A and B are shown apart, each in its own frame.
Chain A
Amino acid sequence: MSTIAETAPRDQTRRRTRFDGWRWGGRIFLVFMLLYTALPMIWMLITSIKSGFAAMQFPPQWWPDEPTLASYQKLLDPQNSVGQDFLRFFWNSLYVSTATTILSVIVAVPAAYAFSRFTFPGRNFLFFAVLLRNMFPAVIFLVPLFILMRAIGLVNTHGSLILTYLTFGLPLAIWLLKGFYDNIPVQLEQAARIDGATRFQAFILIVMPLSAPGIIATAIYSFIGAWNEYIYAYTFLSKNEQLTLPVGIQRFFSENTTDFPGLMAASFMMSVPVVVLFLVLQRYFVRALTEGAVKH
């Protein structure tokens, strides 16, 4: 007995101090990934507070001698023509992305619920058909969609972009949400219906709150997709006052010489809504709401 008691802790200490190659390999890999993703962001931020001259210097200034917020002031100044354009583009992007997100949730939620709960003829065929679009790169549809948009008179409208982004975003949104609905036990709805709810009430009062993490994930996915999209926005819109940010930023900073601090400041501000969205809503991703609902 005593020998066992004595050796046991010694064993543990040895195990704890032993070099674990896999674990350290993993840590080094994670550090590398962190640098890989964070360094460009940091460089973007640093450049955005440099003066135009400091940004072009070689060897580069790691930290600007005279940090300045001039670029931000210029971009956010509604009196200035650059600021007017930037705010216009920002608003356009926000409008297109928000509309895409709302419509995508409105369509994806009932579609995913139907795929998850009902059996109807052609259900499997339809379900895989929505994924067909994802088999091809987005650019393949550029010309056909442009011809289509021209035919229905949507070229040079934000509607063309919203429709296109919906087409691209919906398949995955439906798949993602169907997974969530599949995991919500059907007995919860049945219980609600027996407790006095209509089928629709059961959906709204019981299923919707439980699928909130899925809906939020879907919404963020749609929003980011629309917010960052470049090639369709570049093709479908030609009027300056309609441009979205990804196209707009490129337009007015590369005419003669590129204003790198201005470009970086605009890029930084463009990333703000996405980051804010993530920070505000991330807790919904991790909350395991259905835990304890039923016993498996």
Chain B
Amino acid sequence: MAHVVLKDLIKTYGSFKAVNEVSLTVNDGEFVALVGPSGCGKTTTLNLIAGLIPITSGDILIGDRVVNELDPKDRDIAMVFQNYALYPQKSVYMNLAFPLQMRKLPKDEIDKKVREAARVLDMTQLLERKPRELSGGQQQRVALGRALVRDPAVFLMDEPLSNLDAKLRVQMRSEIKRFHQDLKATIVYVTHDQLEAVTMADRMAVMNGGYLQQYDSPAQVFAHPANMFVASFVGSPAMSLIPLQASTANGGIVLTSAEGWSLALSQPNARKVQRATSGKVVLGARHSTIKLHKSAVAGAIPAKAYTVEPTGDVTFVQAFLSGAIVNISVPPTIAVAPDEQIWLEFDQERIHLFDGETEMALQAN
């Protein structure tokens, strides 16, 4: 296993910048998820690491080797593709043996390794089948087997679970996580599903528009999103982002809505807002940190329930504040009807504040 370093990685297609000055380090044995909406540059970044497309500028290191100009075959990597890319004319056995044959290993050693990989992935009885005779989950497992049979420095995975049905996806998710733990493998994993990234990765790199937005552990990304994009992308339902206007009143800072209500900020929050480039401030709050009241409470803001979605153990209520959708979760014991008048109380300790101009998170210091 080895670490991977990306230094100021840039990939342009004509005037379009697909990957923009991305720098990050994947430590030896670390599971890193590249996550973002489609077109954010995450798959391009992975293909650059693999060497399937040439880089425009920057450096890629695998281990301590600069691999910028190396062919994919010389980078000591293995890749799992979204569509599995199993060789259709070859049996499962030959699919697993192919990377070893390419490396000119002796026949008996190939046989040993293939059977070992098949045993680990529990598909010894499938070895003679052709890929088309396998189910989606089995094909996925063969693809994984073809990657691990060679014991590469780095595993690259391009949305390996997105073609599976929901149940199988959850199962394979834990299998891949287990696989990572057992092998202490360095894995770069591309996904558009923030839940996969949060549940599986040691660190997640959130990308948007070709730029790396934030690179940190899922817990840190969740608790301290660097900007409004990350805040709205990570977490489900998404964090509510309410655009407000900051002003000074009675020595403190108050956020005022165009709808007329206002919110007096606590001291630490006021210090954050003082650092904003303008009076425009966006208030962010996760569904679980907003308290819903059915009668007026001091400091709570009046709103109207728009939709109510009971999911069993929690009920999600949607409301509009200052034109923004606000998600609130309440225990199923609290019955809320659509169009019912409600009052929302924000937890000043747990709200997020963003600069309305730069969209960056406002920090206290």
**Contact surface of A with B, Cβ cutoff 8 Å:** 185, 187-188, 190-199, 201, 206, 209-210, 289-296
Contacts of B50 in A (CB 8 A): 190, 194
Taking the nearest CB of chain A, how far is it from the CB of B300, in angstroms?
A: 50
Taking the nearest CB of chain A, how far is it from the CB of B200, in angstroms?
A: 21
Complex contact B88–A293 (CB within 8 A): yes
Q: How far is the CA of A192 from the CA of B73 in the complex (A)?
A: 8
The 5 closest A-B pairs by CB, nearest first: A292-B132, A196-B102, A294-B83, A293-B88, A195-B99
Complex contact B52–A190 (CB within 8 A): yes
Nearest to B163 among chain A residues (CB) is A295
Q: How far is the CA of A290 from the CA of B85 in the complex (A)?
A: 11
Contacts of A198 in B (CB 8 A): 71, 73
Complex contact B89–A195 (CB within 8 A): no
**Which of A188, A190, A198, A289 has the most B CB atoms < 10 Å from its CB?**
A190
Q: Which of B85, B134, B139 contacts A191 (CB 8 A)?
A: B85
Q: Which of B73, B131, B146 contacts A292 (CB 8 A)?
A: B131
Contacts of A192 in B (CB 8 A): 87, 98
Nearest to A193 among chain B residues (CB) is B72
Contacts of B77 in A (CB 8 A): 194
Q: How far is the CA of A92 from the CA of B355 in the complex (A)?
A: 83
Contacts of B88 in A (CB 8 A): 188, 210, 289-293
Contacts of B169 in A (CB 8 A): none
Q: How far is the CA of A190 from the CA of B147 in the complex (A)?
A: 13
Taking the nearest CB of chain A, how far is it from the CB of B86, in angstroms?
A: 6
Contact with A along B70-91 (1 / 0, CB 8 A): 0111010111011111111100
Contacts of A197 in B (CB 8 A): 73, 102
Contacts of B79 in A (CB 8 A): 190-191, 194
Q: How far is the CA of A193 from the CA of B71 in the complex (A)?
A: 8
Complex contact B130–A292 (CB within 8 A): yes
**Which of B52, B82, B88 has the most A CB atoms < 10 Å from its CB?**
B88
Given A191-B81, A194-B78, 13 additional A-B pairs, CB 8 A: A187-B81, A188-B87, A190-B52, A191-B79, A191-B146, A192-B98, A195-B99, A195-B150, A199-B71, A289-B89, A292-B132, A292-B139, A294-B84
Complex contact A190–B87 (CB within 8 A): no
Known pairs A210-B88, A294-B85, A296-B83; A194 contacts B163 (CB<8 A): no
Is B136 in contact with chain A by the CB < 8 A criterion? yes
Q: How far is the CA of A291 from the CA of B87 in the complex (A)?
A: 10
Contacts of A210 in B (CB 8 A): 88-89
Complex contact A291–B132 (CB within 8 A): yes
Q: How far is the CA of A294 from the CA of B142 in the complex (A)?
A: 12
Nearest to A206 among chain B residues (CB) is B87
Contact residues, B134-169 vs A (CB, 8 A): 134, 136, 139, 146, 150, 163
Q: How far is the CA of A187 from the CA of B130 in the complex (A)?
A: 18
